[in-house]
Structure 1
Amino acid sequence: MKTRATPLNPQNRFQPIVTDRQYDDGWYQDPADDTCPDSLATEVVDEQVRTIISRNQSPDVPFDQSINPYRGCEHACIYCFARPTHAYWDMSPGLDFETRLIAKPNAAEQLRRELDKPGYRVSPIALGVNTDAYQPVEKHREITRDVLKVLVEYRHPVSIITKGALILRDLDLLSELAHQGLCSVRVSLTTLDNTLKRQMEPRTAAPATRLKVIRELAAAGVPTGIILGPVIPFINDHEIESILGVAAEAGAERASWIMLRLPLELDELFQDWLQRHFPDRASHVMNRMRDLRGGKSYDAQFGRRMTGTGPYADLVRQRFAKRARQLGLNLHQAEPLRSDLFRRPAGEQIGLF
């Protein structure tokens, strides 16, 4: 599939009937047969949501509130931990996750309702965690921008994680929030190799473009850092020091890392990707992944699911910390986002009468 990370569409785990697609009857072998296209267009359907703020109590996640303007992600990162969530909507975590998206056009309206509730307690909202808020469909839907406008109006703290250059479109809103201590951005930077980027993150911004994003955000006064995630053994782990170096040069103030995670259907999808792009080292990668996860492909236990355990995990941690220290990254505590400026504009106006 051109510009897609996987051609697979495995059954999601909630479907009671499983279709065996392994048998080859020759039906799609004719190259002139247009019923087997080499690319698929993205389909988007709308969902009128009744709630927009998701909450979690995970002890190893640095936020308790998040907003995802979209379900599914056109960026098509093969390693995305959010792929299995597409099964909740009766779709496959494979190709469906990349091509069949759900947009939330009333997100800003619903956010306003939730912020207006008397019992609402202010804490930073993480924007675009499960799927990227600045994926390509946002260019014309502008749901993320509408959400940011509400956050500006209410003076609400927000943190953003993205690998999309489209975030620069909203620099006016982000800089306004940042100047009040209400915004921070982390750019996901996984490789400096354009070929590897195209293989594992087909529709994301190029590495050079992401560095440009860091530079422009930093120049506008927006606290900016990177997430080197995921670190994939024998695929991009050799780039740790170089990625940190160019990120710091571009203006990043902070950096963190996450080890590759393979929950549920993602295990099958990632191993298929390995066999197609790196058959010479596929078994080596998976053996190291099992070393990290106590003999399994994945361990979901809090505290170690993001990093793994054992000598290799310790080595990555030490390499990352040493280079970050040399570059002056992470010198201060995580950028504090203010919560004391929150206001309800509509309520203030009503109070005048």
Structure 2
Amino acid sequence: MRTSLLPRGRGTASNPPNRFAPTRIIASDDGWQEEVPPCGATEVRQETAKSIISRNQSPDLPFDRSLNPYRGCEHGCIYCYARPSHAYWDLSPGLDFETKLIAKHNAPALLAQALGKPGYACAPINLGANTDPYQPIERQQQLTRRCLQVLLDHRHPLTIVTKGALILRDLDLLSELARQRLVAVYISLTSLDDELKRILEPRAAAPAARLRAIRVLREQGIPVGVLCAPIIPMINDMELEGLLQAARQAGAQSASYMLLRLPREVAPLFEDWLHAHYPQRAEHVLSLIRQSRGGALYDSRFGQRFRGEGAFAELLAQRFKLASKRLGLDRREAFELDCSRFCPPGGQLALL
């Protein structure tokens, strides 16, 4: 069901059934609904997780392990590729994903246990691979901060991907991690347009706040890169060079980008969003996506899923390459993290 009546502060009004649901309810517009539906309060459920470090063998990712203290994300980004994961908990990838959140309350303790297991080999852990570790509920839950403390205590390297300005709360821990070459931060920057941000990423930090986060982190000596993601044809692709320029002026040292991904239930959610906010442009946007995805809205193949193929994708890659080289954002030497200092729980930390 396509609707322009979106809940205030949410990315979608739709709550489609997850792909594992045995029954489905189909809503229809009878013409009586005229008011914008309420956004609904955020509900946080506590989960006693059994494990905390996720492993991957993807050749597209620069890390082989990640940690996510939360399931679901209150930022409500309509394009979020993690939305389909909510189906595993019998929840909708739609509104449920941004309103019914799960906090792994024992994440810090599980992390310490995992680091202390015999045979554990140290390599950087990524925070933020699935959902944002600095989404609004982190202010109260503080699971990300407590995990940072565990990693610092045992001198374990990590990377962080976030669009949350709340990361500045943890400058004390991040500064010490950076001093020991144990952390690199990537700030996701999607648009410099506040209005586009409001409808695309309703509860994420404003563009100015993200640029300020880059600036403050760099002033504290913390390595920072910018992630221009996702790039959406005819929505924000025209901002690419401007995003890179603004990030470089704020102090970013490296840059990357990603073409819009629409796996599983994300595709129909994004289509509804397009028709609600850009009805005259929607079909053109979808056409360019299909041209970049072999005729479909999504291509999951390694090597293709982040970049796409075809004329539009190739032009985008060339634009990024030229702009990042011109701005000096194509260097990665500042992001070499030190795994040699790791001391597992129960081990003896070196004095120097």
| Alignment RMSD (CA, Å) | 1.4
Letter paired with 2:293: R
Matched residue SS, 2:300:
coil
What does residue 179 of structure 1 align with? 179
Q: Distance in 1 between matches of 2:224 and 2:334?
A: 11
CA deviation after TM superposition for structure 1 residue 330, in Å? 1.7
Report the residue type matching 2:25 in the other structure. T
Which amino acid is the alignment partner of residue 91 of structure 2?
A: M
TM norm structure 1:
0.95
Q: 1:219 to 1:276 in 2, by over 3 A?
A: same
SS in 2 for 1:54: strand
For residues 81-160 of structure 1, the aligned pairs below 5 Å read: 81-160=81-160
Give the equivalent residue in structure 1 for 2:3: none
User: Which amino acid is the alignment partner of residue 21 of structure 2?
Assistant: Q
Letter of the 1:18 partner, please give it. R
- Residues 226-261 of structure 1 show CA distances to partners (whole Å, capped at 9, x for unaligned) of 000000000000001111001000000000000000
Q: 1:333 offset after TM fit, Å?
A: 4.5
2:297 equivalent to 1:297: yes
* Cα distance in 1 for residues equivalent to 2:244 and 2:88: 36
- 2-side partners of 1:37 and 1:241: how far apart? 37
SS across alignment from 2:240: helix
CA distance in 1, matches of 2:142, 2:52: 16
3-state SS, counterpart of residue 268 of structure 2: helix
| Unmatched 5+ stretches in structure 1 | none
Q: Relative to structure 1, is the Cα distance of residues 172 and 281 closer, same or farther in structure 2, using a 3 angstrom cutoff?
A: same
Structure 2 residue aligned with 1:70: 70
Correspondence for 1:55: 55
**1:169 counterpart residue number:** 169
Task: Provide the C-alpha distance between the structure 1 equivalents of 2:184 and 2:95, rounded to a whole number of angstroms.
Answer: 32
Report Cα offsets for 1:63-92 as digits up to 9, x if no partner: 111000000000000010000111111000
Residue 45 and residue 341 in structure 1: after superposition, are their counterparts in 2 closer, same or farther (change >3 A)? Answer: same
Cα pair distance change 1:42/1:332, threshold 3 Å = closer
Q: Pick the aligned partner of 2:27 from 17, 21, 26.
A: 21
Q: 1:8 to 1:154 in 2, by over 3 A?
A: same
Residues 241/25 of structure 1: CA separation in 2 closer, same or farther (3 Å cut): closer
Alpha-carbon separation, structure 2, partners of 1:344 and 1:130? 26
Q: Matched residue of 1:309: which SS?
A: coil
Give the equivalent residue in structure 1 for 2:329: 329
Give the deviation of 1:22 after TM superposition: 2.4
Contact 2:68/2:129 (8 A) holds in 1? yes
> Relative to structure 1, is the Cα distance of residues 295 and 169 closer, same or farther in structure 2, using a 3 angstrom cutoff?
same
Mapping of residues 269-288 of structure 1, within 5 Å: 269-288=269-288
How big is each residue's C-alpha offset from its partner over 1:213-234, in whole Å with a ceiling of 9 and x where there is no partner? 0000001011001000000000
Residue type of the partner of 2:248? A
SS in 2 for 1:161: strand
Q: Structure 2: how far apart are the matches of 1:332 and 1:89?
A: 38
Counterpart Cα distance in 2 of 1:11 and 1:24: 21
Per-residue CA shift, 1:169-222, capped at 9, x if unaligned?
001101101111110000000000000000100001100010000000001011
Distance in 2, Cα, partners of 1:30 & 1:260:
32
* Letter matched to residue 46 of structure 2: D
The residue aligned with 2:4 is none
- Is contact 2:79-2:260 (8 Å) kept? yes
Cα distance between partner residues in 1 of 2:206 and 2:29: 38
**What amino acid is aligned across from residue 162 of structure 1 in structure 2?**
T
Q: Report if aligned partners of 2:116, 2:345 keep a CA contact under 8 Å in 1.
A: no
Where 1:203 maps in the other structure, the secondary structure is coil
- Name the residue aligned to 1:12: 18
Residues 1:231 and 2:231 aligned together: yes
Aligned residue identity for 1:272: D
Structure 1 residue 61 displacement after superposition? 1.0
1:282, distance to aligned residue in structure 2 (A): 0.1
More moved, 331-340 vs 54-63: 331-340
Give secondary structure in 2 for the equivalent of 1:312. helix
Distance (whole Å) between structure 2 residues aligned to residue 189 and residue 278 of structure 1: 21
CA distance in structure 2 between the partners assigned to 1:252 and 1:23 by the alignment: 47
1:264 paired residue number: 264
**Aligned-pair CA distance for 1:334:** 6.8
CA distance in 1, matches of 2:246, 2:186: 15
Give the drift of 1:332. 3.9
Residue 328 of structure 1 and its aligned partner are, at CA, apart by 1.0
Aligned length: 343
The match for 2:320 is 320
Q: What's the TM-score once normalised by structure 2's chain length? A: 0.95
Distance across 1 between alignment mates of 2:101 and 2:193: 28
- Counterpart CA distance in 2 for 1:204 and 1:92 is 20
Q: Distance in 2 between matches of 1:213 and 1:88?
A: 34
